[in-house]
Structure 1
Amino acid sequence: MITGPEAISYAEAAAIYSEVTGVQVRHTSVATADLADRFVAAGYPADFAAALAALDEGIRHGNEDRVTGAVHTLTGRPPKPLRRFLAEQLRN
């Protein structure tokens, strides 16, 4: 799992994005089966779509609520909080 320096939910990420950009967005949770159907409709193989949807379900239930050192390990740089990353992107 690759994460930033803080564990945030989809809803928290949407709120941060809205705050920083001024564009209101909200996260809407989609049932696992419906999400798998959407992936299939987008062209993903059914087995892979089901696996992605199951992964998302686990994330929604907190299975990945953690912070990892992967960004630093892979890039040699410390990860940035989402709020800071978005603000920097807006300035560039």
Structure 2
Amino acid sequence: MAERLKPEDRAAGLKALPEWHLCEGREAISRSFKLHDFRQAFAFMTQIALVAEKMNHHPEWSNVYRNVDVTLSTHDVGGLSQLDLKLAAEIDRIAGSYG
């Protein structure tokens, strides 16, 4: 089972994820992505969904045309866990393939 990150572990993990930021008012991290068009945004989300399903850790997200907003938090622990940092890194890796 996942464990809630200690503040120092959260800070260290976010250093490796410079495009992600803490959400105001809750213990979660988020990032916005702008892709070329809707088709590319949908493909991006599909790739994330496949990784998230394998991890059994699912993002909160929204999509408007080519914009995808992703928020990560581990609801079972009431905040951030290592799962969030791992999924954020995977999302960044996927985003890198879109230029």
Per the normalisation by structure 2, the TM-score is 0.27
Q: Which has the higher strand share?
A: 2
Per the normalisation by structure 1, the TM-score is 0.28
